[in-house]
């Protein structure tokens, strides 16, 4: 069942990234204190990249990062080491400072892994199984897309858990993505968004307005749905933010 959106507004993108890093650290420490291995779905994008850099700067803290399962919500189907990939630069930042254990790092196959696009998606689906993310991080494009699930694209309604994406409206054209079903079984879904160019999409994602809901409007955690945004990104939601007394 969808959970109400909590809107947390910060001054700018750096503040959003810092808040994301701090919230993630506290949440994972709490999950481990309860005796569970945290399951985290990572995303790409500017805010997430800044947050990962902050996590690396702060070090492990109260979290045993060697016992955190890291997953990815989507990946560009390009060769290992390609600058377009989400996982490679993230791991380059986090692996050493957080002392990650590669046995807990679940990277989507690259195009040079010896698998075609369909096989790569199927392999990740097999690895993912029925995993439920404690936290699923989502960036969002100005069109309201999340992961590699784009508005009006036929793959948006594809059943299953992990799907091959072809003819993506945003290059590169071939991608791998978890489905909305996987996102929506997550305990907590956190959007991390900044910038005035995304204000309309944020409003549509939170309110579900428009002739057809954008993908972001379809994503919700079972326990919490949190929008970590800056003031520019929430410009079209002024009335909603004030009435809900969102944290600023």
Hey, what are 125's tokens?
């689906």
CA distance 161 to 152: 19
248 falls within a domain: no
Q: Find the helix packing angle between 46-58 and 13-33, rounded to 10°.
A: 60
Report whether pLDDT(148) > 70.
yes
Per-residue DSSP letter, 223? S
Predicted model pTM: 0.94
Supply 119's token pair: 């096989």
**Could you tell me if residue 245 is inside a domain?**
no
Round to whole Å and give the CA distance between 183 and 131: 11
Q: What is the reported pLDDT for 238?
A: 66
Percent of the chain topping pLDDT 90: 88
CATH of the domain at 95: 3.40.50.1360
> Of 4, 7, 56, 3, nearest to 193 (Cα)?
7
Q: Answer whether the bond into residue 172 is a cis peptide, omega within 30°.
A: yes
pLDDT tens per residue across span 150-200? 999 888 888 899 999 999 999 999 999 999 999 999 999 999 999 999 999
Per-residue pLDDT band for 244 (boundaries 50, 70, 90) equals very low
157, part of any domain: yes
Range of the domain at 167: 5-239
Helix (H, G, I), strand (E, B) or coil at 12: coil
The separation between CA 179 and the C-alpha centre of its own chain, rounded to angstroms, equals 12
* Tens-place pLDDT, residues 79-128: 999 999 999 999 999 999 999 999 999 999 999 999 999 999 999 999 99
pLDDT of residue 156: 84
Is 114 inside any structural domain? yes
Residue 239: pLDDT band by 50, 70, 90 thresholds?
Answer: low
Residue 77 in tokens: 């189907």
Domain tally, the chain: 1
Of 183-187, 202-206, 238-242, the one with minimum mean pLDDT is 238-242
Could you give the CA distance from residue 75 to residue 148 in angstroms, rounded to a whole number?
8
């Amino acid at each position: 069942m969808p959970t109400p959106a909590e809107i947390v507004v910060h001054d700018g993108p750096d503040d959003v990234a810092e808040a994301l890093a701090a919230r993630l650290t506290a949440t994972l420490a709490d999950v481990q204190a309860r005796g569970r291995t945290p399951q985290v779905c990572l995303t790409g994008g500017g805010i997430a990249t800044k947050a990962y850099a902050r996590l690396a700067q702060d070090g492990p803290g109260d979290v045993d990062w060697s016992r955190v399962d890291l997953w990815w919500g989507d990946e560009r189907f390009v060769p290992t080491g390609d600058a377009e990939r989400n996982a490679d630069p993230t791991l380059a930042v986090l692996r050493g400072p957080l002392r990650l254990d590669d046995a807990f790092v679940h990277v989507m196959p690259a195009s040079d892994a010896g698998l075609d696009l369909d096989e790569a998606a199927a392999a990740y689906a097999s690895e993912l199984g029925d995993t439920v993310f404690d936290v699923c991080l989502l960036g969002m494009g100005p069109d309201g897309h999340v992961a590699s699930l784009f508005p009006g694209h036929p793959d948006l309604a594809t059943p299953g858990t992990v799907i091959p994406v072809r003819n993506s409206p945003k290059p590169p054209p071939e991608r791998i993505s978890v489905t909305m079903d996987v996102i929506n079984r997550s305990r907590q879904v956190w959007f991390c968004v900044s910038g005035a160019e995304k204000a309309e999409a944020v409003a549509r994602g939170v309110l579900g307005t428009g002739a057809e809901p954008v993908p972001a409007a379809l994503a919700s955690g079972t326990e919490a749905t949190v929008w970590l945004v800056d003031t520019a990104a929430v410009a079209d939601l002024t009335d909603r933010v004030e009435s809900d007394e969102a944290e600023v």
